[in-house]
Structures are given as structure tokens and as C-alpha cells.
Structure 1
């Protein structure tokens, strides 16, 4: 039944996609982020839904009469430069046979990210994009929260298999990123039932993130909550809610959860943590030795034997920063950081200037919550190999489109008075 439902939704959307590429972009985001086909048990699990949507969207983009220019904003140009750099480093991959599948996957993500940036233009488009992200990740947050309640927190919450968020740690970070977006929609929705549903989704998603037993996720939650309180205009109310809800959620979790979180302070005794540090040293040494890094999929015994302090302790990068460093060198890391910095500065520009533009208060609230999401990703991503996770790139697209809208609505500068000769 689930397979048929996904099939009907995707193929039912094709006429709308061919008529309007925005629909295709939103369908792509839904398929790529939620991966709804993974919730089936039959033919849908291997059916190429993403490929069909991508082809239809690109065809619609060719024939549409709507504006389809790629924004020349700093984050988009930085991402374009990072994409070009990855194409430069790919021929120098240490393991071409392993690198090629990941290279094609990443290039598809980058291509469709640029398509999203090209077609998302209006306030309605931006809000729909936020809703798609909330529904896509919120599904797993609500599902995971209910699972955590039923199990009393005694079992870990996992994401959908064979996806970016299949790992428990990755799912936790994704849920942490989507909670601020839920809060934005909850604050700006007029329907009381929608607000109540989003409030419940926030609580269940937070519980699911804790139920993942992710230590990096816990650090990301702390950073996100602190930033949310700092940026809130209602600090007393937000602080009171966090002070009431936070301890209640923590007290709900069992002793084994608390014992795992305690290992954050004693990371030297934790084999997993030390393995990550060993992988970070490997990436650092590799980048110092090879200007273009090692290419995609470098986490092989031969690489660790050559560059790691502990040669036989092979781990994935477990850090977006060291992953880029090891795979694409210092140049790749600089460009990747530039994407994040310029995206952050775009959000800050919106927060500063949107109040001057009539009817753009929604942009302030949205940009603030997206900054909160990015803060969670920057902290949680320090411990996860999620460099190519597409949600931050879609947030970038939303912020770039919003900046253009704010700029278009800013009143013209007052004329300067000049004294006669």
C-alpha cells in the first residue's frame, strides 16, 4: 500500500512539474530528504523516483517562461566554486573505483540544489520549501518520538536505511535542524490546529533526537537552544519554556542514556571517540601531503596505514570539516567554510534589513530560525560525516531568495541634500 501511495504521488505530480518547475524542485526536496520510498516493502524501495522527478524538472526548466536565472549571491557563487573544486579533485582520487559512485551522487545533489536556487523566488515558494523540509524530517521526528515514549527511552531511534539520515547520529542532527523551522511555522501560522500540531511535533522530535542516544546531537541541542534563546525577542518566555521542557525530557530518559552522555567528559576512554580523533589526524596528514586531498571515499586501511597515528583503527571522518579536508584538501575546506559563512551572513543581513521593508517581518523570523538550524548543523556536524547532506543547501536557497525579496521591498534611500556652490 505504501509503495502504491508513493508511486501515485510522484506520477500524479508529473503534469504539474512539467507545467511549473517549482513543483519539481519541491518534489525533489521531498524525495531526497524524506526518501518516502524507503518506508515501503516492495517495488518502491528500488524504483528511481528521484531520477524521474529530476528529469521532469529539468525539462520543465528548459521550456518554462518563468524567470530561471541562477542568483549571483555570494553563497551560490561559493557553492558553485566548491562544486568546481570537487570536479578538480576527483581525477586525483586515491580510490577511483570507490570514489565514482559518491562523486555522481554528490554532483546530482549539487545540480538540483542549483535548480532549487533558480526557481525558488517568491515568499510562497520559500514558505512551501520550509513546509516540505518540516514534513519530510518531521515525519521521522514524530515517529521516533512516539517510539521513544513507547519504549521508555530504552531503545535507540534510527532513521531510514540507505539515506543520509539512516544513522542514529545523523537522524538526531537532522531533527535538531528541523525543530527551529517547525517553531517558525508554529509562530507564523494562523490555524490553531496547525500550531498545536507543530507544537506536538517539536516536542516529539526533541524526544526522538534524545532517543537516538547521539552525544553529538546532545551538544547540538544545547548550542541550538542557547542560540534560540539569545536571538529571541521574548527571552523570558522562551527561557521559561526551555527550563521547563528540557529537564523533563532529560529526566524521562533511562540511566543507560545518561551513562552514554557521561562519556562526553571522558572521551579518552571511549573507543569510538578516539577512533574519530584518529580519523581527523589522518585527514589532516593526508591534506598536508596532497594538495587536492584524497578524493571521495578515502576511508580504507591503506589510507590509515599511510597517514593515521593508529594505522589499524579505520573510521569514517565523523566531521564535516575533516571530511572535506581529507577528501578535497585545504582548498576544498576553505570553499566549504565560505559557503557556510556567506549563508550565515545572508541570514544576518535579512535580520538586520528586513524590518526596514514593509511586510517583510516574516523574513526576520524565518532567517533567525534558519540561523538556529545552521548553528545546530555547524556544532553537530563536527562529529558527523554529513558534508553532502542537502538540507543546509536548501536553507541556503531559501535565504538567498528571501534576501532578494527583502532588497526589492526596501524603500529607496533618502536623497542627500547638497549646498549650492
Structure 2
């Protein structure tokens, strides 16, 4: 019955996608982040809903009369360059046939990001896209947080399917989601939802702890630390965070403490030593193939293992996004990947500085800042988790690009609109003016807000 309900919800919207492609993007958004069919039983668990929705959306994009252009945003350009390089390294890699599956996955992820940037270029559509994404992921975070509390931390929160296949990937997604949850604390859909959303944010953080993922825990610590640095209410946040963290530490079982504490004892942690071996393997591959690398999934190619694997060790996953990219795409690919990451970081920071100063675009600036903080979690957690093709990373970059486009639209519209032939000035929050002369006080203009 649950599978039939999910199938009905998805199929009933598909005819509308051909006329309104943005509906297809929102359905695509929901399926990608929540995997509702994986929460059901029967035929729905394996039915390719995402492929159907993607095909219908592309068809609607062709039939639609709306303007369809991919903005030349630096983030979009960086993503295209990285994708083209990945195609080249797959062709030139050790075993192109073995690498093609991961390339196909990355192309689907980036296709969704590009289509989203093309279609969702209005304030309401951007809000809808982010709300569906955050709500879908928050559903998984609430489930994980409640499970962790009810089990006293003794049970592990496992993967939720899709891009969150295992506990490490789920922990990374939840750590990246925390800034977005706090964005909705600042800009709740309704004023009465502010405190419930705060509870959701806490549940998401608890779900990261419940995964027992060391990479996710480090990513969460990095995100919270950066949020604390950027916040205007540092002491209030510390007054809340410190008791929660200390109390939580004494409540979790010893197995969780031992696992997290082993992060700092690298010489005694066999898991960490195994990762160092794979990092050496990645360096060996890149040193011999500095331009093209070994192609996707080179870690599992027997010929590469025989040549580049340090003797006496068993091959395994790289457990680092940076060494993953280095081995698969060479030093050129790693440079393009880091360029993509830093371009998105800089664009998010620029958006936040520019759009936060106006009332009309403050929400755009705060959204860009939240996406930027999510990238912090990805960059830090990526040190120990191999998630170079992680969906949420590319979706956050798409959000930053859309924020730039939408923010520019709002500013242009506000600066060129007229009332009786007079241009309407953009509104800022009033701040006390600086006195022009000692002993005199300038009065604030009557048009400014108190």
C-alpha cells in the first residue's frame, strides 16, 4: 500500500511536467534527496522514478516557451570544465568500460544541477527548490535523530539510499544540512515555525552523532565552528552548544566514544593506516599519470592495484575526496575540482556581502551564506570520506549560482521601478549617522526605517 501511494503521488504529477518543467525539477529534487520510494515496499523500491521524471522534465524543457539559457556564472563554468575533464579521463583511463558507470552517475548529477539553474531562476522557484530539498533531507535527519535518542546512541543510523548509501554519506549530508536548517530559523515559512525548526536542527545534529561516522562528526564540528565564528550571537550559541555537547558526550555509549576518540590516535587506528596506504596508492597513480590520472574507479582496477599498490596491503576505498580525485583525474583534475570548490565558496561569500545590505535581498544573502557553510562541511568531511560525486555538493553550488541570478533580478527590478516617474530607492535598515561636526547631531532622513 505504501509503494502504491508513493507511485500515485509521483505519476499524478508527470503529465504536468511537459507543460511546467519546474514541477519536474521539484519532483526530481524530492526523489533525489528523500528517496521516498526507498521508504516503501514492493515494486516501488526498484522502479526508476528518477529516470522517468528526468526524461519528462527534459521533454518539458524542450516544449516550454520560457527562456532557456544556462547563465555564464563562474560556478557553472567551473562545473562544466570539471565535467568535460572527467569525460576525457574516463576515455584515457585504465579501463574506460569500468569507469563509465561512475561517469554516467556524475553526468546525471550535473545535468540536474544545470537544468535547475536554467529553470528555477525566479525568487519563488528558488525558494520552492530549497524548501523541497531541505524538507526532504530533514525528514531523514528527524528519523535519525529520534532513533539515536530512543536507542541511547547504541544503535547506528545507516544509509537512506541514493546519494546517502551508507552511514558516512548520510552523516555528510546531515552535517551539510545544518546551516540550511538554521537559515530557516532566520527565515521561517511562518513565524510560529521558528522554534519547531530549531528542534529539527538539533535532531539533524543528533543524527550525525548517531551515524557513528568520524568523517561526519569532523564535518559537523567544522560547520558549527564556522557558524560560531560568523554569528553575531557567539555567547548565546556557546551557552546552548556547550551544555548540549557535554551532556551528549556522557549519554552516548562507550563504543561511540572509543570510535570517535580513535580519530586522534592515528598510529593505533588500523582504519586510518589503511587510508594512508590508499592515499599513497593515489599519489603513485597520479605521479605516473599526472595529466589524465587513472579514470573513475581506478582503485578497483586489478592492473592498477598490481602496479601502484604498496606491497603487503589490501586495496580498499580511498576515504578522501581529494585523493579520490587525484587518482581518478590526475593533478589537472584535482586543480579543476579545487577551482570549482573555491569558486563556489567565493561566490557564496560575495553574494552574502552584497545582498544582505538590502531588505529586499537579505534572504538571498543569508541563503548564499548557508550554502557556503554547507560547502565547509563538505570540504572538511571530504578529508576522510570519498564523495567526489556527492549530489548535495553540486546542488549547493547550483543554489549559489541561482542566488546570484535571483539577487541581481531583484536589485535590477527595484532600482528601475518607478512611482510617478520617480525611481524607488532600495531600502536598508537604518543605522545612526555619523556626526559631521563635533557637538552637532545629524537627523536621520524621514524616508529611512527606524
User: How would you bin the TM-score normalised by the shorter chain?
Assistant: over 0.9
Task: For 1:358 and 1:151, locate their aligned partners in 2 and report how far apart those are by CA, in whole Å.
Answer: 45
1:69 matches 2:93: no
Q: CA deviation at 1:192?
A: 4.4
The equivalent of 2:188 in structure 1 is 189
The answer to whether the 8 Å contact 1:231/1:368 transfers is no
Task: For 2:16 and 2:105, locate their aligned partners in 1 and report how far apart those are by CA, in whole Å.
Answer: 26
* CA offsets 1:361-382 (integer angstroms, 9 cap, x no match): 1122212221111101110111
The answer to whether the 8 Å contact 2:185/2:197 transfers is yes
Task: For 1:276 and 1:214, locate their aligned partners in 2 and report how far apart those are by CA, in whole Å.
Answer: 15
The answer to whether the 8 Å contact 2:99/2:295 transfers is yes
- Structure 1 residues 96-135: aligned runs within 5 Å: 96-135=96-135
Q: Which deviates more from structure 2 when the two are superposed, residues 30-39 or residues 349-358?
A: 349-358
The equivalent of 2:438 in structure 1 is none
The answer to whether the 8 Å contact 2:356/2:366 transfers is no
* CA offsets 1:240-275 (integer angstroms, 9 cap, x no match): 222232223333211111111111111121111111
Task: For 1:310 and 1:148, locate their aligned partners in 2 and report how far apart those are by CA, in whole Å.
Answer: 41
Tell me: CA distance 1:67–1:358, structure 2 relative to 1, closer, same or farther (3 Å). farther
The answer to whether the 8 Å contact 2:81/2:336 transfers is yes
The equivalent of 2:391 in structure 1 is 390
The equivalent of 2:84 in structure 1 is 84
Paired residues in the alignment total 412
Normalised by the length of structure 2, the TM-score is 0.88
Task: For 2:115 and 2:60, locate their aligned partners in 1 and report how far apart those are by CA, in whole Å.
Answer: 11
Task: For 2:40 and 2:60, locate their aligned partners in 1 and report how far apart those are by CA, in whole Å.
Answer: 29
* CA offsets 1:260-294 (integer angstroms, 9 cap, x no match): 11111111211111111111111111011112111
The equivalent of 1:280 in structure 2 is 279
1:93 matches 2:97: no
Q: Which deviates more from structure 2 when the two are superposed, residues 213-222 or residues 189-198?
A: 189-198
Task: For 2:247 and 2:165, locate their aligned partners in 1 and report how far apart those are by CA, in whole Å.
Answer: 27
Give the superposed CA RMSD.
Answer: 1.8
The answer to whether the 8 Å contact 2:277/2:313 transfers is no
The equivalent of 1:156 in structure 2 is 156
Tell me: CA distance 1:129–1:248, structure 2 relative to 1, closer, same or farther (3 Å). farther
* CA offsets 1:54-86 (integer angstroms, 9 cap, x no match): 011001111112222101000100100111111
SS of structure 2 residue aligned to 1:19: coil
- Structure exhibiting the larger radius of gyration computed from Cα positions: 2
The equivalent of 1:418 in structure 2 is none
SS of structure 1 residue aligned to 2:382: helix
Q: CA deviation at 1:99?
A: 1.4
The answer to whether the 8 Å contact 1:304/1:313 transfers is no
Task: For 1:127 and 1:251, locate their aligned partners in 2 and report how far apart those are by CA, in whole Å.
Answer: 39
Normalised by the length of structure 1, the TM-score is 0.93
Task: For 1:102 and 1:182, locate their aligned partners in 2 and report how far apart those are by CA, in whole Å.
Answer: 30
The answer to whether the 8 Å contact 1:172/1:209 transfers is yes
1:143 matches 2:109: no
Task: For 1:5 and 1:122, locate their aligned partners in 2 and report how far apart those are by CA, in whole Å.
Answer: 31
Structure 1: tracts of 5 or more residues without a match: 415-421
Q: CA deviation at 1:356?
A: 4.0
The equivalent of 1:208 in structure 2 is 207
* CA offsets 1:278-333 (integer angstroms, 9 cap, x no match): 11111111011112111111122442331132453211121111111111111111
Give the helix-richer structure, 1 or 2.
1
Task: For 1:250 and 1:364, locate their aligned partners in 2 and report how far apart those are by CA, in whole Å.
Answer: 35
* CA offsets 1:190-212 (integer angstroms, 9 cap, x no match): 52453233222211111111011
Task: For 1:96 and 1:311, locate their aligned partners in 2 and report how far apart those are by CA, in whole Å.
Answer: 28
**Which structure has the higher relative contact order (CA within 8 Å, separation 6+)?**
1
